[in-house]
Amino acid sequence: MSTPREFLKFIDDNAENFIKRLADAVAIQSVSSDLSRRDDVIKMAHWVDAQLKSYGVTTELRDLGSHTVDGVELPLPPAVLGRIGNDSSKRTVLIYGHFDVQPAEKSDGWNTEPFILTEGPDGQLFGRGSTDDKGPILGWLNVLQYHFENKKELPVNVRFCFEGMEESGSEGLDDLVIKEAKQGGWFDGVDCVCISDNYWLNTRTPVVTYGLRGIAYYRINVSGPGWDLHSGVFGRTVHEPMTDLVLLLSKLVDVKGNILIPGIDAMVAAADEDERAIYERLDSSVAEIEAAAGGKIALVDNKVDLLMGRMRSPSLSLHGIEGAFSGSGGKTVIPAKINGKFSLRLVPPQTPENVTPLVTKYINEEIAKLGSKNTISVEYLNGGLPWMADIKHWNYEAAREATRQIYQVEPDMTREGGSIPVTLTFADALACSVVLLPMGRGDDGAHSTNEKLDRSNFLQGSKLLGTYLYELASAK
Amino acid sequence: MSTPREFLKFIDDNAENFIKRLADAVAIQSVSSDLSRRDDVIKMAHWVDAQLKSYGVTTELRDLGSHTVDGVELPLPPAVLGRIGNDSSKRTVLIYGHFDVQPAEKSDGWNTEPFILTEGPDGQLFGRGSTDDKGPILGWLNVLQYHFENKKELPVNVRFCFEGMEESGSEGLDDLVIKEAKQGGWFDGVDCVCISDNYWLNTRTPVVTYGLRGIAYYRINVSGPGWDLHSGVFGRTVHEPMTDLVLLLSKLVDVKGNILIPGIDAMVAAADEDERAIYERLDSSVAEIEAAAGGKIALVDNKVDLLMGRMRSPSLSLHGIEGAFSGSGGKTVIPAKINGKFSLRLVPPQTPENVTPLVTKYINEEIAKLGSKNTISVEYLNGGLPWMADIKHWNYEAAREATRQIYQVEPDMTREGGSIPVTLTFADALACSVVLLPMGRGDDGAHSTNEKLDRSNFLQGSKLLGTYLYELASAK
């Protein structure tokens, strides 16, 4: 089913109104991690709810209960559920987005007031939440507005699930999704899912994302002294926890990023020529990735291996040490009770369940080899599964075809190194295809200062999302 | 010259008054690191000054200028200089002590109010500063009081140097000592120095201390990314600073405390049988040292090697990492700019000047071997020389003989693992023998909660200090 030309024109004709609406949304300081802003997150839920209603969407605000932060019990912001269309001859798509944002203060280094949407010289729309994830939510509203005002039926049935705790661990959402996926639930009958909450690889080429890495987070605990000791009095007298911990951490990963825990890297088959060709085609470069990292520190100097390191290989990062001296200056302490934190990013077929025995076995062997009198243990803290979708599914055909129509290019088909846990929840609970169809560019700075969404990405992205719905209706 | 029997009796007869005076001193909250208590430190200087004056000591309060803390300029508490006796046929001893104390709040875990001296069931005098270092200063006052009230001349000329910034780096003191050591200065003509500001090895046997370790403090800096990175997006993509730093730190010291930097351990000759015998005689045990550390974590299971590790060997301790994730919870950051801190404790003939080239050469070689694209450097931050005195000097003969008379035992002759920098300043500026003659026990908890000085140590210690002056007069 082809997208109405009037829809594309409607988006262009209403650009200023759409940007005005984005400014309204950005002005609500819905910072989910800031307890003093919780009322603003709830206000934002009501704002989204009212917008959906105004375009004929049936909605419900779903209470997700409360949580306790720093000893204070706070209500969770409600999730906004919506449904429009109930034609059993049409496909049904579930659309996810989040209306909460990361914290922002002008003093963090913003050039403009973070909660006042401000247009830059090259059409950048600067403001907290512009690209993550208010812009994409408003993209869907723009699509709805066209159909409502022109009395056009949508080409597919649509369900919405918008939440206000994504930046704070999506608390309460998993239970809701699992419950509503059941027969008679809000998401019963959903055929596919679309999430617009990630980014292009660069500033030029749109992407469709079909994979995310999982994670397994660990801690090595070392204790021995009853309290912190003076290094003058106890240096070369006792087994020092820091010595033991640093030796153990040094045995996990080498300078080149190879994981030294036997069996972990070996779980993932090497890429064949066909798979390497996928990465060869991606519009990216070593220089661009180094620019995004802020330093000329790429592990390898060819694009294919570098992208595969991020997207289809496991990784091990050391995050830090808790309990040791971490201030500036020169304290001469022997820390008594410390732990070192590291995590593995996982790719299929790895899971926290199948890698953890390898991790603990190896570290326990290394602990035994150390011969320290300190008490040392390794602990799995939490994790999440990797996710990878079948890119031949009609959901992906629709996303790719919509991209071709709007941008006149083949999208980069990407896997991402990070995790969006709700992706897997949807895929599992609904047993259907999930596609990630981003609106923003790789340099949008989602969690940074001066977050922006380019004007063209907002408008073309709105067209993309609408076109995707039309392509869904007919994709095979 | 033998100590007058009446002096010893005077101490016992006036015990309650002396403890009352100690309570008065403890009640002045002279916490040098607490800016809001600076007036109390200054008040304490005046209190000490008035006490000295009341016993015929000529005094001067010496302004040490000001310093800036957290942007606030504060006056330093004055040093109290004193002199009594000017008989050129007598020896002249300089006595050092400090009247400032560590912070203390009942809520830290004190069983009693920290600034109200409280006697425990076994004669412990609980209170902040009781043993560190108000008790010893008051020991000297007790000696002065006897001589003043009984119109007895002291057996030696005495100079005093009491400061109020010891717990905060002795700011301003070095310059004062160097200036007053010159001809015509307050310390001109001093023949020896006595410092009573350390502790017995245990709770039984008095010690005389003749050595302290020096220190050299270093930092390894690693940077690469322009900002902290997301480990999902950049894991196995870039050289991670934490990986590099942990690998370098793991090459400095082994689990057994051996220093892996070539040449450092080799600078110190192994102990011969005679020297081992010194440590064999010390009244200490592995169990006692482990109890002091709060864990069964001794590096070796024999007393001699354990004590030598502390007292006559260099040591290397890893203190912590600055700039990495150090909180609780599970942050998945790749820290961008970090440094790892470690220090060496030094023994003669080691100095910061002769070990630093070995440290930097080795670490630079290891950095080159790493092959990382991150920017890595090693930096010497600060240090201090080790100190060791000739125990055959008459100053030591006096200290040992005084100990034998008061305690009827041979003192443990110790070197300490830590540093008291002013010791070296006195030794160098005055070019004379310095002895450390402690009053308190090893379990006094100088910098901890429930600091105490045992009643018997206060009284016997006062006798010890007085007797030391008499022995000084005649020691050869």
Binary contact (A255, B333; C-beta < 8 A): no
Task: Say how far apart CA A109 and CA A445 lie, in whole Å.
Answer: 13
CA distance B162 to chain A (A): 24
pLDDT of residue A109: 87
**Is residue A235 located within the same domain as residue A166?**
no
Task: Say how far apart CA A352 and CA A334 lie, in whole Å.
Answer: 33
Beta bridge mates, B322: B339
Interface test with A, best of B202, B236, B344 (most A CBs within 10 A): B236
- A32 alpha carbon, distance to own chain's centre: 15
pLDDT of residue B75: 94
> Largest alpha-carbon pair distance within chain A?
82
CA distance B156 to chain A (A): 34
Instruction: Identify the domain boundary among B364, B384, B404.
Output: B384
State the ipTM, two decimals: 0.89
Are B467 and B406 within 8 A, CB to CB? yes
Asked if residue A69 has pLDDT above 90, the reply is: no
Interface test with B, best of A197, A234, A237, A370 (most B CBs within 10 A): A237
Can you tell me the mean pLDDT for A186-201?
96
Q: What is the pLDDT of residues A413-456, one digit of tens each?
A: 999 988 888 999 999 999 999 999 999 999 998 888 899 999 99
In a domain, A291, yes or no: no
pLDDT of residue B361: 98
**Is residue B348 located within the same domain as residue B418?**
no
pLDDT of residue B180: 97
Task: Say how far apart CA A273 and CA A337 lie, in whole Å.
Answer: 49
**Is residue A145 located within the same domain as residue A33?**
yes
For residue B444, the chain A residues in CB contact (below 8 A) are none
For residue B228, the chain A residues in CB contact (below 8 A) are none
Q: What is the pLDDT of residues A231-286, one digit of tens each?
A: 999 999 999 999 999 999 999 999 999 999 999 999 999 999 999 999 999 999 99
In a domain, B240, yes or no: yes
**Is residue B206 located within the same domain as residue B231?**
no
For residue B224, the chain A residues in CB contact (below 8 A) are 293, 295, 297
**Is residue A372 located within the same domain as residue A465?**
no
Per the annotation, the verdict on A166 as an active-site residue is: yes
Q: What is the pLDDT of residues B212-263, one digit of tens each?
A: 999 999 999 999 999 989 899 999 999 999 999 999 999 999 999 999 999 9
In a domain, A202, yes or no: yes
pLDDT of residue A332: 87
Q: Kindly report the CATH number assigned to the domain that includes residue A230.
A: 3.30.70.360
**Is residue A221 located within the same domain as residue A335?**
yes
pLDDT of residue A447: 82
Query: Residue B105: which residues within 8 A CB-CB, separation 6 or more?
Result: B114
Structural domains of chain A, count: 2
pLDDT band at A185 (very low <50, low <70, confident <90, very high): very high
Give backbone dihedrals phi and psi of A116, rounded to 5 degrees, phi first: -115, 110
Task: Say how far apart CA B440 and CA B436 lie, in whole Å.
Answer: 12
Please state, as a whole number, how many other Cβ atoms lie within 10 Å of the Cβ of residue A463.
Answer: 23
Q: What is the pLDDT of residues A364-423, one digit of tens each?
A: 999 999 999 999 999 999 898 999 999 999 999 999 999 999 999 999 999 998 888 899
**Is residue B91 located within the same domain as residue B166?**
yes
Select the more confidently predicted residue: A33 or B364.
B364
Closest CB to B320 among A225, A253, A326 = A326
**Is residue B352 located within the same domain as residue B439?**
no
Report the share of chain A in percent with pLDDT over 90: 89
**Is residue B152 located within the same domain as residue B234?**
no
Q: Which amino acid is at A391?
A: I
**Is residue B131 located within the same domain as residue B247?**
no
- Only one residue has tokens 């029997």, namely B5
For residue B418, the chain A residues in CB contact (below 8 A) are 230, 232-233
Per the annotation, the verdict on A100 as an active-site residue is: yes
In a domain, B94, yes or no: yes
B57 token code pair:
């000591």
pLDDT of residue A70: 77
In a domain, B278, yes or no: no
Q: Kindly report the CATH number assigned to the domain that includes residue A128.
A: 3.40.630.10
Which residues span the domain enclosing A40? 5-212+387-474
**Is residue B406 located within the same domain as residue B368?**
no
In a domain, A277, yes or no: no
Active site residues of B: 100, 166
Can you tell me the mean pLDDT for A47-67?
97
B465 token code pair:
């200090």
Average pLDDT of chain A, as a whole number? 95
pLDDT along chain B (476 residues), means of 10: 91 98 98 93 98 98 91 93 97 98 90 97 97 98 98 98 92 95 96 96 96 95 94 95 98 98 97 95 95 96 97 97 89 93 96 98 98 98 93 97 97 90 93 98 89 98 98 94
Task: Say how far apart CA A305 and CA A276 lie, in whole Å.
Answer: 8
Binary contact (B294, A234; C-beta < 8 A): no
Burial of B346 (0-12, 13-18, 19+ CB in 10 A): buried
Binary contact (A232, B328; C-beta < 8 A): no
For residue B334, the chain A residues in CB contact (below 8 A) are 317, 319
In a domain, A301, yes or no: no
Interface test with A, best of B222, B247, B301, B318 (most A CBs within 10 A): B318
CA distance B408 to chain A (A): 28
Closest CB to A315 among B236, B313, B322 = B236
End-to-end CA distance of chain B: 12
Of A40, A49, A163, A166, catalytic: A166
Binary contact (A320, B318; C-beta < 8 A): no
Instruction: For A173-192, give one letter per residue: b (16+ CB within 10 A) or e.
Output: bbebbeebbeeebbbebbbb
Closest CB to B310 among A233, A323, A416 = A233
Instruction: Identify the domain boundary among A364, A384, A404.
Output: A384
B247 to chain A: closest CA residue: A250
In a domain, B280, yes or no: no
Q: What is the pLDDT of residues A307-351, one digit of tens each?
A: 999 999 999 999 999 999 998 878 888 999 999 999 999 999 999
Closest CB to B255 among A230, A244, A253 = A244
pLDDT of residue A71: 84
- State how far the alpha carbon of B314 is from the alpha carbons of A330, A394, B175, B219, B357, in Å: 18, 69, 29, 18, 16
Q: What is the pLDDT of residues B269-288, one digit of tens each?
A: 999 999 999 999 999 999 99
Binary contact (A345, B313; C-beta < 8 A): no
DSSP H stretches of helix in A259-412: 273-281, 286-293, 303-311, 352-370, 394-407
**Is residue B455 located within the same domain as residue B426?**
yes
Instruction: Identify the domain boundary among B341, B364, B384.
Output: B384
Instruction: Kindly calculate the radius of gyration of chain B based on its CA atoms and give it in whole angstroms.
Output: 24
